[in-house]
Amino acid sequence: MLVRQGVTALVAVAAAAGVSAPAAADNLGIAAGVALWNYEPDGHARQDGNGSFDLQNDLGLGTEWGGYAWIAVEHPVPVLPNIRVEYTRADTQGSGTVSQSFTIDGVTYAQGTDVSTKADLDQLDLVLYYELLDNVVSLDLGLDIKYLYGHVRVRQDDTGESEKVSFRAPLPLLYAAARVDLPLPGMWVGGQASGLAYDDNRLVDLRATVGYDFVFGLGVQAGYRHQAIKLDDVNDLSADISVAGPFVGVHADF
């Protein structure tokens, strides 16, 4: 079902792109960038229907620095989509005291237990998109195939016993990105969104950006990124969490 939904979405975007074919790039272009992301995880999760644990109140997870890198290739062939590949790494660790009992892999963490936690959330995005506008205002629409993979490891401080919950989930998301050049030379503002909801699962990845382009295609950017992830029994894991915070980065357009 997920693949069929993704293909249907891409066909719809391709139809729209066919109407706006003149916005296709005149030449082959490559853009790339890296950014540091100061994010804070929030929300709760549970394994296999057992009691839920709160990322902040129970596990003590807090603000961390992570990052992401991306590269995009645009070409003059109007029928074929452009390609953007992005990798995001978001790791965090902390310590806390369990406020309500929960169970992971048959091990119960009772209320009042001191725990240490390490959580990893990695993401790989393959974006296939069409450039519908490319002027003072630019607009891209397409399909973002996001692959989520990571784990949460919880250790009891008094016994040293630990358990790990892992998850992997490929998700086809609708993708949109827009940019508006400001009257000040080199200044621009932009936004980027990927998202889809199906059954009881939902993922939204939003970015608001302000940037400045120097000569030779180099530039800097800063903004805010917010992700909301809801999983319903994916690899025995259910979760309703968010990861959000400001970012700063550099980019180049060749």
The helix (H) or strand (E) run that includes residue 146 is strand 137-156
Dist. CA 25–CA 75, nearest whole Å: 6
What digits encode the pLDDT tens for the residues 135-193? 899 999 999 999 988 888 888 888 878 877 777 878 899 999 999 999 999 999 999 99
Helices (DSSP H) in the chain: which residue ranges?
2-19
Band of pLDDT at residue 24, cut at 50, 70 and 90:
low
pLDDT at 198: 80
Dist. CA 61–CA 72, nearest whole Å: 33
Residue 65 has pLDDT above 70, yes or no: yes
Dist. CA 232–CA 199, nearest whole Å: 8
The average confidence (pLDDT) of the chain is 86
* 21: helix, strand or coil: helix
Percent of the chain beyond pLDDT 90? Answer: 48
For residues 235-250, one letter each, b for 16 or more C-beta atoms within 10 angstroms of the residue's C-beta and e for the rest, the string is eebbbbbbbbbebebe
pLDDT at 221: 98
pLDDT at 243: 94
The CATH classification number of 2-253 equals 2.40.128.90
Tokens of 80: 């074929």
The alpha carbon dihedral of 111, 116, 120, 121 has a sign of positive
Dist. CA 195–CA 190, nearest whole Å: 17
pLDDT at 235: 67
What digits encode the pLDDT tens for the residues 94-104? 998 888 888 77
pLDDT at 109: 84
In single-letter form, the type of residue at position 52 comes to: S
Tokens of 176: 């949109």
What digits encode the pLDDT tens for the residues 80-117? 999 999 999 999 999 988 888 887 777 788 888 899 98
Do the beta carbons of residue 239 and residue 230 sit within 8 Å? yes
